Amino acid sequence: MFRSPSPTPPPPSRPPAASRGPSRVRRPTALVAALATAASLTVPGAAIAAPASVPAPLAGDPRPPVKQPVATGYGGAVSTVDPDASRTALDVLKRGGNAMDAAVAAGATLGVTEPYVSAIGGGGFITYYDAKKRRVYALDGREFAPKRMGQDAFLDPATGKPIPFGEAVTSGLGVGVPGTLAQWDLALRRFGTRDLGTLLRPAIKVADRGFVVDQEFHDQTAVNEARFRDIVPTRKLFLPGGKVPEVGSVFRNPDLAGTYRQLAKRGIGWFYEGGLGREVAGTAAAPPVDPKAARTVRPGLMERGDLAAYRAVMREPTHVPYRGLDVYGMPPSSSGGSTVGEALNILGNFRLDARDPVTALHYYLEASKLAYADRGRYVGDADKVDVPLDELLSPGFARERACLIRPDRAAPAPVAPGSPDGSYEPCVPAGTQTRALAFEGPQTTHLVVADKWGDVVSYTVSIEQFGGSGITVPGRGFLLNNELTDFSFQPPAPGQAPDPNLPGPHKRPRSSMSPTLVLQDGRPRLALGTPGGSTIITTVLQILMNRIDLGMTLPAALTAPRATQRGTPQVYAEQAFIDRYGRELAARGHRLELFPGPPTGVIGAATGLEFLRPGLVQAVAEPTRRGGGSALVVHPVR
């Protein structure tokens, strides 16, 4: 029998009366037997690292931010990786804006303070719960390829072999048509209550005033220093005075402030059909490389017409039931919803017990291994290829895959994909055909927001690598993405199965971004997501298992050490995971190795929130990973 969520006693008091959403009060049910609020919670290993000594800011300069990883209260909540972005969202909520308004405002601020992972030169995915309609929506702002891009775009014409990956990253060839602004516009038109110009004001203020450089920003710049020096406008912006900004210094971006002001005045048509679009296409087609640089920076294929053709898209979210809950995710071109959903369906065939975490983790790793094999074989841009999504998420297919899992022994990886054909046998032996894991950069960011009406946003945004393509649009203050490197570089050999993730005109590359919403009885209970490239899926899956099956609170589930199995011979893990579980999992045939990064030994940087009871929300961010995050609520409670 599956372990179902256990009920908890009704709360002693009701939250303040809210609003425009449904107001029916029901008896709350916990996700797990143990439920505690953050104020009284002690999470093992969750202590916040002492801040490094930094120079005192000058009078009038911004102060070093204070980050808190957990906040509990009423009236709305937000969790991001950055205090400025979290404060921006919180201020929107306090002024009567809704969750979508706050998410867009926070995203714009992240474009200032987290420019290497979040920018209007990139794209992302949003899952949204509308409390009034009690419905989940999915908004696709993923970049797409230029019209002139064919499936051989990443092959060297001279050799017929894939170009070096580093050359694809720092190039115009890897730049996809950005989707962020179109997604914000769609989100606000459908669900927002504020206009984009109003929501850009806090970000403009931060860009003008500046923010205090922390260790994470310094390190991300240092990692990119060599390639940033070779791109003239990037060097000018991100290496002021020719140096990596020091920790404790103030970084300003007046160019981006000016770009945001013009967007507020002119609208997004300036980007997709106007002068800014011409600059974006021209920069990708002819990257502004220093003539003295020895680096090969290939030109891109983007033209003005590609920007005019771009549209953000409303899609039907993925949905799977799990242990009495409803889990919603992002459909293709993201593989997040399908792969998390399939793995949950597989896990649903096993009893996971908090008293035996090693067995639970064994099943988690094996379910991930199988789901990734199916992801690689079947998932791509559903607008361009046939993705058997319904069958990938069907209970019959999950049972057929689950029967391949042995309780005492890991299957050798990589494993073969299954056959989601609608005809399922009790157990079908594994085949032999496999596909290599395509590289996805782990540098992304995620935020979650809930408002006082019960609307919830789970939003993952990215420009791919730390620093994207490394190419800054001259005078505009933002980097362009390199998301097209998520495509497969080489077509399959004759006789091999087709690859759904080859480049193509106006095709979206497969992503792993997994903005996830969990509902109980039609009401939101959890929202979560993370950066991490192809590890996003396993991080979200592991947090869900920790919370739902292993009885952890959300802060503990998010803080717990992580491992990722993506169809590789080894299981990559954080050191704390290896120390705690390595010996017993090795006895079952798992080969654990330290996650190579970047950054080394750190998997993801998640944010999440949970409705502890009607109206009472707990927002959760990382205490330490990637410098920690910032969780805030409108009306905190002890």
Q: How far apart are CA 453 and CA 611, in angstroms?
A: 12
Residues 126 and 455 sit within 8 Å (Cβ to Cβ): no
For 317-327, letters b (16+ CB in 10 Å) and e give bbbbebbebbb
- Token pair 């998420």 is found at 393
Please give the Cα distance from 333 to 337 (Å, whole number).
10
The amino acid at residue 232 is V
Distance, CA of 67 to CA of 83 (rounded, Å): 6
| Closest CA relative to residue 312, chosen from 130, 138, 107, 536 | 138
Q: Residue 111: left (phi > 0), alpha (psi -120 to 50), or beta?
A: alpha
> Would you say 127 and 450 are in contact if contact means Cβ atoms under 8 Å apart?
no
Nearest to 155 by CA among 528, 430, 489: 489
- Residues 88/106, Cβ–Cβ less than 8 Å: yes
CA distances, 231 to each of 291, 330, 580, 595 (Å): 9, 35, 44, 30
- 444 catalytic? Reply is yes
CA-atom Rg of the chain in angstroms = 23
Q: Which residues contact 318 (CB under 8 A, 6 or more apart)?
A: 328, 329, 330, 331, 337, 338, 341, 389, 393
3-state secondary structure of 469: coil
Strands (E), 402-515: 444-451, 456-462
Residue 470 to residue 485: CA distance in whole angstroms: 13
Other Cβ atoms within 10 Å of 47 Cβ, number: 12
Q: Which of 88, 170, 234, 444 is catalytic?
A: 444
Beta strands in 55-134 (DSSP E): 70-80, 123-130
Catalytic residues: 444
